Structure 1
Amino acid sequence: MRCPHCGRDTVIFDSDSNTYVCQVCGAVVDERPAYQGTEGFPKNNTTPRNSGALTHRVHDHGVGGTEIAGSFKAHLRRGRSWVRANSEIKVDKRDRKLKKALQWLNEYLKLLDPPTPVRETAALLVREAVKDKNFKENTVRKIIVAAIYLSYKINKQPRSAKVFCSELNIEDGYLWEGIRLIREAVKDVKLTHEHYDPRYYIGFITHRLNAPPVVETLANSIASSAESYGFLSGKNPASLAAASVYLAGIISNNKRNQLEVAETIGLTDVAIRNAYDSILRNLDIDVLL
C-alpha cells in the first residue's frame, strides 16, 4: 500500500486506532479498513450463523440480525429472498423501543458520517439512556443528538455546539435538553466540561476547509510550539486552533480568509484575528503580506 500524499510504501496498520497510517508524513490512509474475517455465533442455540464484527448500533449487537439498507420491496424485486427471512426475525418486546431508537441513531449518523469510535460510543450512550424507559419519540431524538455530541468529546474529537446544531438543523436548547436527560440516566459517564487541546480541533477545521495535509501538519506544529511556551493556558482552544490553521495556510501558500476559517467552527472573524495576533506576538513569527 502506497501513501497517496507522499507516494511512499511506508504505510502501516495501527491496531490501537484501527487505521492505516503513513510512517513518513503521518497521513491517515484508511480509517475504516474492511473486516476481512468472519466470526461464528449460535443463533437460537441451534443454527450457527456467520457475522462480522460486533456493533452496538444494532439492538442485538449484530449477532441475531443485520440492518437492511434500502427499500424492502426493491430487495424482493431483485430476488433477494434472504431479506424477507431477515426481516421476520422476532424482536423481544423489551428490545422494540431500543431497536427503534438505534434506527433513528443510524439515520443521524448517516448525515454526520463520524468515525467508527464515535458511532459506537454514541450507541452505548443511547442504550444506557433509553434502556427500560418509556420515552416519547421527541425525547428519544433529543437523547440521540446529545449522545452523538458527547461521543465526539469522549473520543477527543470535540465539536462546537453551534456548528453541530447547524449540521443537524436543530436549536441549541434541543441539544442541551438531551444532555440533561443523559446526565440523569447515565451515571457512570463523565460529562463535566473539559479544556481540550487546540490540536483536537485542527483536523476538523482542515477537513471542513478541504485543505491539503501540509496545512494540518503546520497548524499542529504551531499549536505544539504554543503549548511548549505555555501559551495555551486560559485560552479558547477552538479559536487558537482556527488561528493556527489560518497561519499555516499563509505559510504554506494555501491562504483562506479569516471569516471562512471562523465559520467552520462557529466563531467570528474577530476571535480568529485576536488569537492570530497573540500567536504572532508570543511565538515571534513574522508574516510578510
Structure 2
Amino acid sequence: MSSNTLVCPNCGAPLRLYAHRLPDGRLVCSKCGYVIEESPIDLGPEWRSFNEEDRARRSRVGAPLTARIHDQGLTTYIYAKRTELRARKLVALQANLRSHGQKKLISILQEANRAASKLRLPSRVSETMARILRQLYNTGILRKNNISEYIAAAAVIAARIEKHPLTMRDTAEVLGVNEQDVWRAYRRIVTKLRVRPAAPPRPQMFVSRIASKLNVSGEVETLAMRFATLLVSTGLAQGKPPEALAAASVYLASILLDQKRNQLAVARTINVTDATIRNRYRDIVDNFYIEVRL
C-alpha cells in the first residue's frame, strides 16, 4: 500500500505529510512521534571494504574445501598490526600450530601446485592430482629424490580420470623429469592405490589445440574432428600416438579446405618430426575414400 493513502494509527495525521524516515530506518509520524514501521533487518556486513582484497579478508564465508592446501582451506587467519605485540605473538603461535607435523605435506602440495600451473591444468584436474598425492603421502612412498616424478605421474593419471588432454611426454618435458621415471611412478601409483585411470586420450581431444596453434578456421577444425573420430571408430587409432593422428587430421583438413599448412609447421605444434605427420597422414588417405567436390 502507498503511504499517500495511509494515516497515522495514533493521531490520524496523513502519512504523506507527516511520515518521516529516520537514519536508522524507522518510519515515524513527525506530528506525534508514533513509530509506524520498525527498521528492516540489515542483511549486510557491519564493516566496510574499499578493495577486493579487504573484502575477501573480512568475509565470513570461506572458499570451498580443497585438497590442494594441507588443511583443506579451513584455517582462520589472524591479522595484526605491527604495534599490537600480543596479537603478533598469537599470529606466530597460530602459524606454528597450522604447520606442525605437516611440513612435508605442505612442501609436496606446493610443488604440485607449481607443476599444475606450469602444465596449465584446470582446477578439477589439480584437485584430483592433489588427492592422489595425499594418498601417496599416507603410504609413505614419497621421498625427496622421487617427488618430482610422482607429481608428474599423478598429473597424468588425474588428467586421464578427468578426460583432459595431457600426454606423458608433454608432462615430462614441461616439468623437466625423465619420461621413463614418470612411467615407473605411474605404474607404482596404479598398483599401490589401485587407481583405475581412464583410457589414454583420444585424437579428438587434441584437435582444437592444434588447430588453434596453426590458426586455421573452424571449418578445418570440424573436418579434422570428423577424421579423428573415424580413425577411432574404425580401430585405426589403436597403438598410435593420439597427438600425431590429430595433427595429421588437421593437416589433411587444411589441404582439402584450401588453408594448407606445411608438414613441418604441423609437426612443430606437437614436437615431432614431419615424417611422423606424413606416416599418420597416409593412415587416413589410404584407408578412407575422400571425395572432394569442386
| Counterpart pick for 1:50 among 49, 61, 65 | 61
Deviations 1:136-192 (A, max 9, x none): 3222222111111222222223433223222222222332243244235422x1158
Supply the distance in 1 between the matched residues of 2:256 and 2:175 (Cα, whole angstroms).
34
Pick closer, same or farther for the CA change 1:211–1:123 going to 2, 3 Å. farther
**Is residue 2:236 matched to residue 1:232?**
yes
Q: Classify the secondary structure of the residue corresponding to 2:286.
A: helix
Q: Name the amino acid aligned to 1:111.
A: K
Supply the distance in 2 between the matched residues of 1:120 and 1:60 (Cα, whole angstroms).
14
Q: Name the amino acid aligned to 1:55.
A: T
Supply the distance in 2 between the matched residues of 1:213 and 1:129 (Cα, whole angstroms).
43
**Is residue 2:128 matched to residue 1:121?**
yes
Deviates more, 1:110-119 or 1:267-276: 267-276
User: Is the 8 Å Cα contact of residues 160 and 200 (structure 2) preserved in structure 1?
Assistant: no
| Counterpart pick for 2:168 among 161, 168, 184 | 161
Matches within 5 A, 1:67-82: none
**Is residue 2:263 matched to residue 1:261?**
no
Supply the RMSD in Å over aligned alpha carbons: 3.5
Deviations 1:228-259 (A, max 9, x none): 5x253635233321211112222344432223
Pick closer, same or farther for the CA change 1:129–1:204 going to 2, 3 Å. farther
Q: Classify the secondary structure of the residue corresponding to 1:283.
A: coil
Q: Classify the secondary structure of the residue corresponding to 1:51.
A: coil
Pick closer, same or farther for the CA change 1:164–1:55 going to 2, 3 Å. same
Q: Classify the secondary structure of the residue corresponding to 2:61.
A: strand
User: Is the 8 Å Cα contact of residues 254 and 260 (structure 2) preserved in structure 1?
Assistant: yes
User: Is the 8 Å Cα contact of residues 98 and 131 (structure 1) preserved in structure 2?
Assistant: no
| Deviation of 1:198 (Å) | 1.7
User: Is the 8 Å Cα contact of residues 243 and 272 (structure 1) preserved in structure 2?
Assistant: yes
Pick closer, same or farther for the CA change 1:196–1:158 going to 2, 3 Å. same
Supply the distance in 2 between the matched residues of 1:179 and 1:235 (Cα, whole angstroms).
19
User: Is the 8 Å Cα contact of residues 231 and 282 (structure 1) preserved in structure 2?
Assistant: no
Pick closer, same or farther for the CA change 1:123–1:282 going to 2, 3 Å. same
Supply the distance in 2 between the matched residues of 1:51 and 1:231 (Cα, whole angstroms).
49
Supply the distance in 2 between the matched residues of 1:58 and 1:121 (Cα, whole angstroms).
13
| Counterpart pick for 1:88 among 82, 85, 95 | 95
Supply the distance in 2 between the matched residues of 1:222 and 1:175 (Cα, whole angstroms).
31
Pick closer, same or farther for the CA change 1:104–1:285 going to 2, 3 Å. same
**Is residue 2:257 matched to residue 1:246?**
no
Q: Classify the secondary structure of the residue corresponding to 1:144.
A: helix
Residue of structure 2 in register with 1:220 after alignment: 225
Unmatched tracts of structure 1, length 5 or more: 1-47, 67-75
Residue of structure 2 in register with 1:171 after alignment: 178
Larger Rg: 2
**Is residue 2:179 matched to residue 1:190?**
no
Pick closer, same or farther for the CA change 1:225–1:113 going to 2, 3 Å. same
Q: Bigger relative contact order, structure 1 or 2, given CA contacts below 8 A and separation 6+?
A: 1
Q: Name the amino acid aligned to 1:129.
A: L
Q: Which has the higher strand share?
A: 1
| Deviation of 1:130 (Å) | 1.3
Pick closer, same or farther for the CA change 1:240–1:233 going to 2, 3 Å. closer
User: Is the 8 Å Cα contact of residues 65 and 89 (structure 1) preserved in structure 2?
Assistant: no
| Deviation of 1:199 (Å) | 0.8
Pick closer, same or farther for the CA change 1:234–1:88 going to 2, 3 Å. closer
**Is residue 2:149 matched to residue 1:142?**
yes
| Deviation of 1:224 (Å) | 2.7
Q: Classify the secondary structure of the residue corresponding to 2:278.
A: helix
Deviations 1:62-91 (A, max 9, x none): 22268xxxxxxxxx9xxxx99x95982732
TM-score, normalising length from structure 1? 0.65
Supply the distance in 1 between the matched residues of 2:263 and 2:76 (Cα, whole angstroms).
49
TM-score, normalising length from structure 2? 0.64
User: Is the 8 Å Cα contact of residues 116 and 126 (structure 2) preserved in structure 1?
Assistant: yes
| Deviation of 1:93 (Å) | 3.6
